[in-house]
């Protein structure tokens, strides 16, 4: 029975499709139909996609990259990644030298930042104490 139902549905859809195709063909010249299809394809492929987010006062319009831009970015990223990996493979000695230098420099900076960070809070506390003592002394002598 489901096979009969499927066949009936398919034939109904085919009839509608044929009828619409015939009617559209009668109403729109071939050149205009081709132009409409080309325009829709170009819009879909090359124009950024408009998206609405949120509702009411919280709604916002954002634009996502077109299909074309997404494809180009993907291909460029892949090719750049391959080129960079190839260059790194071809320049192992230079990479090792630069990496060693970077690590040494970064390690020195990290140690210095760590030391500054360690002593920052005690120095700030000491600074506050000294300022308070000086302010109190001035207050006691009526100078502030």
pLDDT digits (tens, 9 = 90+) for 126-141: 888 999 998 888 888 8
CA distance 63 to 69: 12
pTM over 0.85: no
| Most confident residue range from 87-96, 116-125, 132-141 | 87-96
Instruction: Return the pLDDT at 87.
Output: 92
| Most confident residue range from 37-51, 53-67, 91-105 | 91-105
Helix (H, G, I), strand (E, B) or coil at 68: helix
Q: Could you tell me what percent of the chain has a pLDDT over 90?
A: 19
CB 54 within 8 Å of CB 60: yes
| pLDDT above 70 for 25 | no
Tell me the per-residue pLDDT of 45-59, one tens digit each, with 9 for 90 and over: 888 888 888 887 888
* Helix/strand/coil percent split, the chain, to 5: 85, 5, 10
CB 51 within 8 Å of CB 68: no
Comparing C-alpha atoms, which of 39, 59, 42 is closest to residue 51? 59
Say how far residue 134 (Cα) sits from the centre of its chain. 54
CA distance 32 to 24: 11
| pLDDT above 50 for 96 | yes
| pLDDT above 60 for 9 | no
Helix (H, G, I), strand (E, B) or coil at 85: helix
């Amino acid at each position: 029975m489901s096979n009969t139902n499927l066949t009936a549905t398919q034939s109904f859809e085919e009839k509608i499709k044929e009828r619409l195709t015939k009617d559209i063909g009668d109403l729109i010249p071939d050149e205009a139909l081709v132009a409409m299809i080309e325009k829709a394809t170009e819009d879909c492929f090359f124009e950024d996609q408009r998206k609405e987010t949120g509702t009411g006062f919280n709604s916002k319009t954002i634009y996502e990259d077109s299909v074309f831009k997404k494809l180009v970015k993907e291909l460029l990223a892949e090719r750049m990644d391959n080129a960079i990996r190839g260059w790194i493979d071809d320049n192992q000695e230079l990479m090792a030298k630069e990496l060693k230098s970077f690590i040494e420099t970064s390690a020195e900076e990290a140690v210095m930042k760590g030391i500054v960070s360690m002593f920052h809070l005690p120095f700030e506390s000491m600074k506050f104490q000294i300022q308070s003592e000086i302010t109190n002394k001035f207050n006691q002598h009526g100078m502030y």
